[in-house]
Structure 1
């Protein structure tokens, strides 16, 4: 059976309990649209565990017969965000003892995981760099490396972190190069700063982008044809793509 934990709110405004009239409340639950303090809600015996330590949070939650999620509304993001948990004090003490007992082992595991992720990230970046140079053999090597690093930055959500980018999909790789040329080799950014609409600015710089890409597709001495030198291109020189 799935558990449904109570949700406790940290109010942004001064609120009083609808039952005992105490306030202002640091934390409360909402029942039938009314604020209720933790004591009246039978949660007053729980202690607050701030989010951040994943192992401690998981262990305290598992050991606590009753626990609640604490949230606060973020006005800028217009959503409720998790702040931590309310758990039984004995459960928290047991969880802290368990975490202390295996601190060294968890630290070693985190270090191993970090090393594996670093190797994987380096492999993704190198593969992307090699594919960029295969498609654009006349591109300066330093620029290819710069584009690969930027496109595959961890947590960026850019092309290199997508499934298509990891699979070295030709359109995805070309899109990464295209984006770099747009921002580095054309006045696109300055056009936007002058208030030119994005689609109009892209249309204006399309010839300059295609000129750069055409030069980078040129075969190096000794090569008969550059990879990707032929074939249909969409708007602004992106194969099989249209400007969106």
Structure 2
């Protein structure tokens, strides 16, 4: 048998119950063109659940033996629009508990996923650091660690996050080291701030970069 839920209206103007004459009514139903309050309609024991939380709404509706749809007329759109549901208080409490359990489970899963990603990121960084020291054994350990951490920052699009970087391609690793030397060990940034075009600035500081790389290639 198909279920037909009662429709409860939030009136736009003051109304009184045609049976008990209480008012103004926050919510009402219309029976035979007459306004009836929720108590007289035997819906007064239900509690309002505003729309917006799909899972909570579904669970509360499924757990409630009696429920009603709440609507309000939108004058601009000339139509009635759903505002939420009236459900049994016990059903709403059970639905809230179930959704809270789901939220806690999702939070635990997100924490586990974050932990796995952090371990993976640490592995990528450590592997890149070892490769930097293999290619440039004269590079100070702290610089190698800084370069690896910078190049492997997640979401940065830098060398360490590219396929070539993860595969420890020699050219990609060298590019990461060269970029670090360019910014830290030369006047490259100052030249850019002075308005020198990028390609000209790179040409100017290229000898200094290569001198550092040659020194780092030997122990």
Aligning the two structures, in what range does the TM-score lie when normalised by the shorter sequence?
A: 0.5 to 0.7
* 1:217 partnered with 2:214: no
TM-score (norm 2): 0.57
Q: Residue 165 of structure 2 aligns with which residue?
A: 165
Q: How far is the alpha carbon of 1:160 from its aligned partner?
A: 0.9
Q: Residue 152 of structure 1 aligns with which residue?
A: 152
Q: Residue 207 of structure 1 aligns with which residue?
A: 207
Q: Residue 115 of structure 2 aligns with which residue?
A: 115
1:138 & 1:187 partners in 2: Cα distance? 22
Q: Residue 126 of structure 1 aligns with which residue?
A: 126
Q: Structure 2: state its 5+ residue gaps.
A: 1-49, 60-80
Question: Whose helix fraction is larger, Structure 1's or Structure 2's?
Answer: 2
Q: Could you list the per-position Cα deviations for residues 171-207 of structure 1 after superposition, in whole angstroms to 9, with x for gaps in the alignment? A: 1111110000000000001111111111001001111
Q: Residue 191 of structure 2 aligns with which residue?
A: 191
After the TM superposition, which segments of 4 or more aligned residues of structure 1 sit over 2 Å from their partners? 87-91, 96-101
Q: How far is the alpha carbon of 1:101 from its aligned partner?
A: 3.6
8 Å Cα contact 2:51/2:84 also seen in 1 = no
2:129 & 2:111 partners in 1: Cα distance? 27
2:51 & 2:159 partners in 1: Cα distance? 40
1:184 & 1:209 partners in 2: Cα distance? 10
TM-score (norm 1): 0.51
Q: How far is the alpha carbon of 1:105 from its aligned partner?
A: 1.1
Q: 1:152 to 1:212 in 2, by over 3 A?
A: same
When Rg is computed on C-alpha atoms for both structures, the one with the higher figure is 2
Q: Structure 1: state its 5+ residue gaps.
A: 1-46, 50-55, 64-86, 221-244
SS of 1:102's equivalent? helix
* 1:175 partnered with 2:175: yes
